[in-house]
Amino acid sequence: MINVVCGIIYKGDRIFIARRKAGKSMAGKWEFPGGKVERGESEEMALKRELLEELGMLVTVKNKLGSNVHAYKDFKINLVAYKCDFVNASFKLTDHDRFEWVTPKELLNYDLTAADIPLVELFV
Ligand SMILES: Nc1nc2c([nH]c(=O)n2[C@@H]2O[C@H](COP(=O)(O)OP(=O)(O)OP(=O)(O)O)[C@@H](O)[C@H]2O)c(=O)[nH]1
């Protein structure tokens, strides 16, 4: 099982989502950005590191919202979501080709990764 942490990043009442770029696994799918938790790292540390690496984004990590175990065809992930407050970002995208700030209700209009869909119910 792969441990992945993602941020439900708020700016006012809008949430940040980004689309995985061509060449990545699940290219074209929208997600809550984040990434794999490395050995010796806390979930909060991993999330801050990934957001800085992938988006040049600084956030304040708040409470854990919940998690979802999802079995894809080839692997299984435990996706843990943390509420975050946006601070600032360069938006220099390394792993994504688009991003949007959306209202919670708009989220399900996007083609999210399968693992993300149950997470949406935690805050909509
Ligand atoms: N960051 C992130 N990853 C997700 C989400 N939902 C989801 O299924 N994943 C999956 O979790 C795994 C870890 O994501 P990652 O993007 O950090 O992985 P990576 O760059 O190290 O490797 P990769 O290029 O093989 O995807 C990927 O297989 C990704 O597709 C999500 O909302 N956020």
Pocket residues for ligand 1 (CB within 6 Å)? 4, 6, 24-26, 31-36, 77, 79, 95, 113, 115-116
- 10, amino acid identity: Y
- pLDDT per position as a tens digit, 48-79: 999 999 999 999 999 999 999 999 999 999 99
The mean pLDDT value of the chain amounts to: 97
CA of 26 to the centre of ligand 1 (A): 8
Q: What does DSSP assign to residue 47?
A: H
Closest CA to ligand 1's atom 13:
35
The pLDDT value recorded for residue 123 is: 84
The pLDDT value recorded for residue 109 is: 96
Strands 96-102 and 34-36: unpaired
CB 99 within 8 A of CB 93: yes
Structural domains of the chain in order of their starting residue, each with its CATH number: 2-120 (3.90.79.10)
The pLDDT of 2-14, averaged and rounded, is: 98
- ipTM comes to 0.89
More confident site: 14 or 108: 14
